Amino acid sequence: MDDRRVVLYHPKYVAALRNVLAGAKADLHEMHFRHLCELADLRREVAELRSILQDVIRASREKGEADVASLRRELEHALARLERPNKPLH
């Protein structure tokens, strides 16, 4: 055998590699936790925006219904005037 070969799995290299991998794993756990926190924040924000959107839709629907009722009353008055042009409506 050739004695000039480099030992690839020397205990000090394995220990160093384990330390590097443990540090990388810890970094990944920290990053995962930060992502989960950010995801929770975004979900709360989406829930708040949905609530605001529901309020806007509700207000728009109520205004639309009121507008339709007003237009319907105006139409009924206009039709009543067409049927009796010279008589007061009251």
Q: Is the pLDDT of residue 5 over 80?
A: no
From 22, 45, 21, select the one nearest 37 (Cα to Cα). 45
Domain residue extents for the chain: 9-83
Number of H helices, E strands in the chain: 1, 0
Question: What residues contact residue 77 under an 8 Å CB cut-off, 6+ apart?
Answer: 89
pLDDT at 20: 94
Over range 7-30, report the average pLDDT: 89
pLDDT at 50: 98
Q: Is the pLDDT of residue 1 over 60?
A: no
What is the pLDDT confidence band of residue 49, given thresholds at 50, 70 and 90?
Answer: very high
